[in-house]
């Protein structure tokens, strides 16, 4: 693989992270967060994207990021007020920046007209309309003084001496020395000296060369690593030396050959034989933004010495993908390698089950050394399985962060003011599940705004705020992940939904439906309440696609709607598509697996506890309450007549929403961890069956979809078909 292409791909991966940081910071500010570190984090995100783009000469991206960065710098310096209108413009700029990043990744050429128009807005907002987008120095409030102010004859303070000289490449990539110096000033009390020793007479000055250098005396509670991180994206485009000054903590005794110092000098581009502090000859020709200063050789720049240093960020990262985090170092790994590892661990689980089966068939006592060793292997296999699955687990934040932009765009198209509220962004789920959540959530949020929320006029008439609220929440429940999309709109108009279904021939006019059944009509293919086709909806290919997508993930979706109050769509999904803990049961000679997370208890039914309701319908009394008794064999079509309740075993289960039922099976074989194999991918979708697995004896066992089986018993599955 081309090394440059790999680095380029890493840059775009990190751009996605920076864009997520940018949007989350802007949304936090929109919600009232005025923490200076939040503003700094937003600024750093744009600055990092611009710096990386410069390395690959992505001109359109560089130009827009530069203007965006300048406006953000005005904001964090206090010269640009953080108002609602300003933040709206910033959020639109974040959207355009994301589009430019994706266009650059796809190799698109040319400028985006939206970027040019928005860049003009940002320039006007920051008072920089006449600035050159190519990276011209903006010295802001730097005050030049034509003399060197000597340090007081006081004890030498703790700190570092930073010698910094840009090469022409630094300016060619749209970076600025002024911004780097400002970042240094945020680390502590900084005294800056401008070195113009290499500046030639005006007549000999090359406008495309770099001549200036700076020496910064930095006092404060910082370290060399933090200082070098300021220059992270200009590494190789400047000459940099960082040395402790008097009072600084002494480093451990170094060996005669200082490898770290040599590597630092090589990475900073210093010549091996250059003496300390010697910046060498002027750099090669290239665009620069420096101007000569008449009759001045050294200048001191006051850099807001009284400004408090920002709190250290929890995580910093560079173009190469290496991260430094308070929680520990991380590495990037190709997802294919992780998937391969998970597949191998799955096979390990199956082989462990095979060994257990062979030991049992051999009749070895459980106290034997072989059986005890096998138990230890089972525990170790489970720990390995859990650890590997944790590698793939990711917070749903990566999907949730795509939704604010969607809300802004749909709100603008519908003319409805909308606020998105997210909860549980840190809830973790398997990456495979996350990747397939984006489309269903997009459909549901668009529908919530377009169909769920009323117009501002109708909301005002109903005594509601003009601004509608869409809520997106995630949580863990009963070994599954539950995602809710709710709105505070008018709820489902059931009369209209039923009449439309009748008009389109989806149901008969005489059909007697409950509120729940009417609500579920919106999941039928071809159903739509939109009166006309638009860019948002009206083609009848929305909610039925959502339900199929959720079912393909082994999940289910339910609706709870209250007229005048709004609607809540609840999706219940497995945490992982790889393994589960199951109860192995027998039904009419077939081996099935019921997910342990759905089982509350098992019991042997007594004749006096079972009551018939007519036909094959039965209920069972459990601790003073009655729950439906469902014959799994009949529900799946394995037998035409129900099994006698007293000759089977009942599994008391709790489905989504808290509804309980008892599943009647012939016998229980035991509990084990099974590897999930997709039945739909290898055969076809089977009602009542979520997936399949391979048992220790080589047999294929079906994994039950508990909630669908309950639906089958009520006749709902046949009606939907």
Three-class SS of 276-291: CCCCCCCCCCCCCCCC
Taking each continuous run of H as one helix and of E as one strand, the counts in the chain are 23, 25
Look at 470 and 625; give whichever has higher pLDDT: 470
20-24, 142-146, 297-301: range with highest mean pLDDT: 20-24
Look at 697 and 252; give whichever has higher pLDDT: 697
535-573: burial string, b at 16+ Cβ within 10 Å, e else: ebbeebebbbebbebbbebbbbbbbbbeeeebbbbbbbb
Q: What's the mean pLDDT in 528-533?
A: 55
Q: What's the mean pLDDT in 74-103?
A: 89
Model confidence at 181, in pLDDT bands (50, 70, 90)? confident
- The pair of structure tokens assigned to 335 is 């997802």
Which residues sit opposite 166 in a β-bridge?
Answer: 238
pLDDT score of 350: 79
- Tens digit of pLDDT for each residue in 519-529? 888 887 767 65
- Tens digit of pLDDT for each residue in 277-307? 333 333 333 333 333 333 333 333 334 333 3
pLDDT score of 585: 93
Model confidence at 454, in pLDDT bands (50, 70, 90)? very high
Burial group, residue 524, by CB count within 10 angstroms (0-12, 13-18, 19+):
middle
Q: What's the mean pLDDT in 563-587?
A: 84
169-183, 260-274, 389-403, 439-453: range with highest mean pLDDT: 439-453
Please give the sequence-ordered ranges of beta strands (E in DSSP) within 231-339, or none if there are none. 238-244, 298-302, 315-317, 323-325
Termini Cα distance of the chain: 50
Distant-in-sequence, close-in-space partners of 310: CB < 8 Å, separation ≥ 6: 36, 37, 40, 186
Tell me the domains of the chain and their CATH numbers: 3-126 (1.20.120.160), 159-308 (no CATH), 335-381 (no CATH), 396-574 (3.30.565.10), 579-720 (2.40.50.180)
CA-CA distance, 692 to 305, in Å (whole number)? 66
- Tens digit of pLDDT for each residue in 582-607? 899 999 989 999 988 788 889 999 98
DSSP per-residue codes, 471-487: EEEEEEETTEEEEEEEE
- HSE-CB of 109 using CA atoms within 13 angstroms: 0
Provide the 3-class DSSP secondary structure of residue 606: coil
Q: Does the pLDDT value for residue 470 go beyond 90? A: yes
Q: Which of 1-10, 331-340, 354-363, 686-695 has the lowest mean pLDDT?
A: 1-10
Model confidence at 325, in pLDDT bands (50, 70, 90)? very low
Strand 468-477 relative to strand 418-423: parallel, antiparallel, unpaired? parallel
- Tens digit of pLDDT for each residue in 704-714? 888 777 766 65
Q: Which of 153-162, 371-380, 522-531, 688-697 has the lowest mean pLDDT?
A: 153-162
pLDDT score of 262: 37
> What backbone torsions phi and psi does residue 519 show, to the nearest 5 degrees?
-60, -40
pLDDT score of 257: 40
As a whole number, the mean pLDDT across the chain is 76
pLDDT score of 496: 87
Q: Element (H or E) spanning 60, and its range?
A: helix 59-76
Model confidence at 539, in pLDDT bands (50, 70, 90)? very low
Q: What's the mean pLDDT in 417-437?
A: 87
pLDDT score of 313: 39
pLDDT score of 663: 92
Q: What's the mean pLDDT in 615-644?
A: 87
Q: Which of 107-111, 287-291, 497-501 has the lowest mean pLDDT?
A: 287-291
Q: What's the mean pLDDT in 209-225?
A: 86
Provide the 3-class DSSP secondary structure of residue 51: helix
Q: Does the pLDDT value for residue 689 go beyond 50? A: yes
Question: Of 338, 373, 386, which is closest to residue 581 (Cα–Cα)?
Answer: 386
pLDDT score of 548: 80
Provide the 3-class DSSP secondary structure of residue 155: coil
Q: Does the pLDDT value for residue 515 go beyond 70? A: yes
pLDDT score of 343: 79
- Tens digit of pLDDT for each residue in 71-85? 998 888 888 888 988
Distant-in-sequence, close-in-space partners of 455: CB < 8 Å, separation ≥ 6: 415, 416
Q: What's the mean pLDDT in 445-458?
A: 90
Q: Does the pLDDT value for residue 552 go beyond 50? A: yes
Look at 245 and 303; give whichever has higher pLDDT: 245
Q: What's the mean pLDDT in 382-403?
A: 83
Look at 65 and 392; give whichever has higher pLDDT: 65
pLDDT score of 304: 38
Model confidence at 487, in pLDDT bands (50, 70, 90)? very high
Q: What's the mean pLDDT in 163-174?
A: 82
Q: What's the mean pLDDT in 90-94?
A: 90
Which residues sit opposite 3 in a β-bridge?
Answer: none
pLDDT score of 3: 66
pLDDT score of 292: 35
Model confidence at 155, in pLDDT bands (50, 70, 90)? very low
pLDDT score of 295: 34
pLDDT score of 312: 39
Q: What's the mean pLDDT in 141-163?
A: 52
Q: What's the mean pLDDT in 612-633?
A: 86
Dihedral, 215, 219, 220, 223 alpha carbons, nearest 10: 50
Q: Which of 190-204, 448-462, 644-658 has the lowest mean pLDDT?
A: 644-658
196-216: burial string, b at 16+ Cβ within 10 Å, e else: bebbeeeeeeeeebbbbbbbb
Q: What's the mean pLDDT in 14-35?
A: 87
Q: Does the pLDDT value for residue 396 go beyond 50? A: yes
CA-CA distance, 584 to 570, in Å (whole number)? 29
Q: Does the pLDDT value for residue 613 go beyond 60? A: yes
């Amino acid at each position: 693989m081309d090394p440059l292409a790999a680095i380029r791909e890493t840059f775009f991966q990190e751009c996605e992270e920076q864009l997520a940081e940018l949007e989350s910071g802007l949304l936090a500010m929109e919600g009232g967060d005025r923490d200076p570190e939040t503003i700094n984090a937003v600024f750093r995100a744009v600055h990092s994207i611009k710096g990386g783009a410069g390395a690959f000469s992505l001109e359109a991206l560089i130009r827009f990021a530069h203007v965006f960065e300048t406006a953000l710098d005005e904001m964090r310096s206090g010269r640009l007020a953080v108002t609602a209108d300003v933040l709206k413009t910033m959020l639109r700029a974040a959207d355009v920046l994301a589009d430019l990043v994706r266009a650059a990744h796809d190799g698109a050429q040319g400028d985006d007209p939206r970027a040019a128009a928005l860049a003009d807005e940002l320039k006007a907002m920051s008072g920089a309309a006449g600035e050159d987008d190519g990276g011209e120095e903006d010295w802001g409030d730097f005050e030049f003084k034509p003399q060197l102010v000597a340090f007081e004859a006081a004890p030498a303070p703790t700190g570092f001496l930073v010698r910094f000289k840009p090469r022409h490449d630094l300016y060619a990539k749209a970076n600025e020395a002024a911004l780097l110096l400002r970042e240094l000033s945020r680390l502590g009390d900084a005294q800056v000296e401008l070195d113009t020793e290499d500046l030639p007479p005006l007549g000999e000055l090359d406008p495309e060369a770099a001549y200036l250098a700076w020496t910064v005396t930095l006092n404060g509670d910082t370290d060399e690593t933090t200082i070098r991180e300021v220059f992270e994206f200009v590494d190789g485009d400047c000459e940099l030396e960082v040395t402790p000054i008097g009072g600084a903590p002494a480093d451990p005794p170094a060996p005669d050959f200082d490898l770290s110092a040599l590597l630092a000098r090589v990475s900073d581009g210093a010549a091996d034989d250059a003496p300390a502090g010697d910046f060498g000859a002027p750099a090669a020709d290239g665009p620069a933004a420096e101007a000569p200063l008449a009759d001045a050789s050294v200048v001191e720049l006051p850099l807001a010495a009284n400004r408090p240093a920002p709190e250290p960020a929890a995580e910093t990262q560079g173009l190469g993908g290496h991260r430094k985090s308070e929680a520990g170092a991380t590495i990037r790994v190709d997802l294919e390698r992780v998937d391969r590892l998970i597949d191998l661990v799955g096979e390990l689980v199956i082989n462990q089950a095979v060994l257990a089966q062979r030991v049992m068939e051999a009749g070895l006592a459980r106290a034997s050394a072989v059986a005890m060793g096998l138990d230890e292997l089972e525990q170790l296999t489970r720990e390995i399985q859990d650890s590997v699955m944790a590698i793939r687990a990711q917070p749903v934040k990566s999907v949730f962060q795509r939704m604010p932009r969607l809300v802004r765009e749909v709100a603008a198209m519908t003319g409805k003011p909308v606020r998105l509220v997210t909860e549980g962004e840190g809830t973790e789920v398997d990456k495979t599940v996350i990747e397939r959540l984006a489309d269903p959530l997009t459909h549901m949020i668009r529908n919530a705004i377009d169909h769920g929320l009323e117009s501002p006029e109708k909301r005002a008439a109903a005594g509601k705020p003009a601004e509608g609220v869409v809520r997106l929440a995630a949580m863990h429940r009963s070994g599954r992940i539950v995602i809710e999309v709710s709105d505070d709109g008018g709820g489902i108009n059931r009369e209209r939904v039923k009449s439309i279904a009748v008009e389109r021939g989806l149901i008969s006019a005489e059909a007697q439906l409950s509120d729940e059944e009417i609500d579920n009509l919106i999941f039928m293919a071809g159903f739509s309440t939109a009166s006309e086709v638009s860019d948002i909806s009206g083609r009848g290919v929305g909610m039925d696609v959502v339900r199929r997508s959720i079912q393909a993930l082994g999940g289910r979706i339910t609706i709870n709607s209250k007229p005048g109050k709004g609607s809540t769509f609840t999706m219940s999904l497995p945490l992982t598509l790889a393994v589960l803990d199951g109860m192995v049961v027998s039904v009419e000679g077939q081996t099935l697996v019921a997910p342990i997370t759905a089982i509350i208890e098992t019991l042997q039914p007594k004749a006096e506890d079972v009551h018939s309701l007519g036909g094959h319908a039965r209920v069972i009394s459990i601790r003073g309450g009655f729950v439906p008794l469902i014959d799994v064999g009949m529900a799946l079509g394995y037998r035409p007549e129900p099994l006698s309740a007293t000759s089977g075993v009942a599994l008391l289960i709790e489905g989504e929403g808290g509804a309980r039922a008892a599943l009647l099976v012939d016998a229980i074989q035991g509990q084990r961890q099974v590897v999930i194999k997709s039945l739909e991918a290898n055969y076809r979708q089977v009602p009542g069956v979520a997936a399949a697995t391979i048992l220790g004896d080589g047999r294929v066992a079906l994994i039950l979809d508990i909630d669908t089986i309950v639906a089958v018993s009520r006749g709902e599955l046949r009606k939907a078909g």
